[in-house]
Chains A and B, each alone.
Chain A
């Protein structure tokens, strides 16, 4: 022991010297580029190696609750409609066309006759009805059956009182009639969610509990998409291959292997080693260095996810005190967070809708960083210079980024005299506390499931969603009426005008401060072409091709 003590000062000297050298060697940051891919003549063939961070939980459409499952499932299963990967407009898929009844409550879908399951058998109307009835069934316990909720008879099937949805009718082998409870302009768009996509129910039933799990086989996952299932090695990789009898535009690559990583750094190192063509998530804090290391090989996507700071309107200090909410909205500076903490890789929100969402009002005037106005509103709220205001609890689910952002906002609020206490919690306890109204001010994000403003607004700001998705406990009868009108209006221009008014009302009432639109940076190989990533954060494997 004594001998080993003779050299510590030397060791310390070396370490401290190394520290001094290293601390002087930091990389300088540069603004992030918004890179897009250029198209040229596609080449068919090859294996696309997709670096995916964390494993999908399921490939059963009835249990697509997270992004990675959706990412793969949308390639395996087609729905009645699909979204254009660039514009997110509704396009025909299994249904080649559809008609509305005069009262807009009945939709008739005309099914293509050339759609085949991956086992070569044809798809008909009954297959669609069977899959949707399974999704709605009580026994299925699907957490994502929401697209079917507007159909007459859904509630009965979902509660176990009926076996089949009465509002679903097969007219002939290639025609389906869907009757809605009310006019619903968002229903058609919602059918692009992979949870309502079509697969061979008979094969799924044979698999039983194994359907959509790593125990799946090509005989049990029999879909309708441009790719068919090959294998799923649990926590390692999932392989899909081009379906040669696909009815639509066929994929260019022969196979896609989704290699599963537990952390971003390992995936990045594999990319550097040349064993991946694409990395889906990059290590936090390294985006600028990665852009420098791989110029013209990154792509930036602004998603449908809007982050916000919600105010609990069910109790003090925010109940009936819009001035205090406005004071906070003027006191914080999200742009400074984007510029520093988020390395320029996020987008400041301007209102309740993500900037990529149809109906987003770019002219909407939201409170933006202005300390003078913040102090004015604070005085109007009854707390001049913050006097008499007890520290407000600002809660967030724990991760380093959320924590650092919370510290930044806490400091900015302190500058105008608003005291806050930070409260970090793990996700399970956190969401429970938020939904039960046990927090005062909280950080949340909402990612829209489909490209329709209803999915971002009605879900978060109507009374029927209190304690579920509406955790600010906001309710305004005028807004509720407008939400219903927006859902029932089929004229797109008139509809968007309604959502513009809703956005203005929400900004006026300020139940939340909309902070950031989640933005991702992705990395792809030099041989990767025509990779499109939509605002739904989905990468289209049908368009991508690899140069030799």
Chain B
């Protein structure tokens, strides 16, 4: 059975490509993590999947297309939890109003209380305005509102990025419990690879609008194939891990804000620590885009030398 299927999805703003031909599958009841740095297009992808921005390509849930012609019911089944809890709740509506707006049918008060219970909030907050709640409480209200739509698919876009660590833990635990309890299908988006690893069954890595690598979470992190993924994994701060201060050959002194290399070759080649600028004989990267080949494979990295590296290990 197919779950959430994203097929050749592209989004561009004024001629600049934000998401470039992304295909992705989230099996029903599973959690796929999407990781990338700022400007990688992960939030745009989320907005496109739920239909908040226009796109080319196809998005479907259990075989049913989720485009403009899909019914309201079908669209409601895919919901997004927003990143910024300060702007995701209307400052002039009480919590009761916010959750009530998302509920359809009667008995809203009773059901609102059940939802608050699910996100571990006191029903007393129903009468309060978002401004009087803490960040963690607001994010839990936002999750309760999302659940009120009775979604089957949940897209969580950087839901803990603006929270302190102890509050982040509360929200992560909550999302995980709800996912299991309700059997939700989740696309979990974050810049924090450690959080993505903790939450997800599978991981997809985005770089400049493209998915450069995907696979089972444990495998991708234990043995990243794409040089970009490897950089990300190595960059994750780890408790007590002292690092050599001299720069290794694989250190990238480039930033994700830089536009990718143009032309026909691999867009990552100008940053690549194992690419043609470092190693001789890798002219292939200058001429051929590895994505064309990667698309035919699954759970693979979009890199000409990923397999070569694996073979040489």
Do A and B originate from a single complex? no
A contacts, CB < 8 Å to B:
none
